[in-house]
Amino acid sequence: MIRAIDCPCGHQLLAADDETLFLRAKEHVGSCTLNLKPSDQEIRGMIKEKGFGLNDRARAVVRLYFEELWNSGRVALIDELFTSDYVNHDPMHPEVPPGPAGARQIVSLYRDAFPDSNFRIDDTICEGDRVVTRWTVSGTHKGTLHGIAPTGKRVTVTGITVFRLANGKIAEAWANWDNLGLMTRLGAVPALTR
Domain spans of the chain, in order of start? 81-194
CA distance linking residue 180 with residue 194, whole number of Å:
17
pLDDT at 53: 46
Q: What is the pLDDT of residue 108?
A: 95
Give the pLDDT score at 120. Answer: 95
| CA neighbor of 66 nearest in space, from 138, 128, 10 | 138
What is 81-194's CATH number?
A: 3.10.450.50
The alpha carbon of 71 is separated from its chain's Cα centroid by a whole number of angstroms, namely: 7
154-166 and 169-177 beta bridge pairing: antiparallel
| CA–CA dist 16, 14 (Å, integer) | 7
- What local confidence, expressed as pLDDT, does residue 56 receive? 66
B/e letters for 142-180, b = 16+ CB within 10 Å, e = fewer, are beebeeeeeeeeebebebebebbbeeebbbbbbbebebe
Q: Is the Cα torsion angle 97, 98, 100, 103 positive or negative in sign?
A: positive
pLDDT tens string for the chain (194 positions)? 677 777 656 677 778 788 888 888 888 877 765 556 677 777 777 777 654 445 667 888 898 899 889 999 999 889 989 999 999 998 888 788 999 999 999 999 999 999 999 999 999 998 888 999 999 999 999 999 999 999 999 999 999 999 999 988 999 999 999 999 999 999 998 877 76
- Residue 142: phi and psi, rounded to 5, are -115, -5
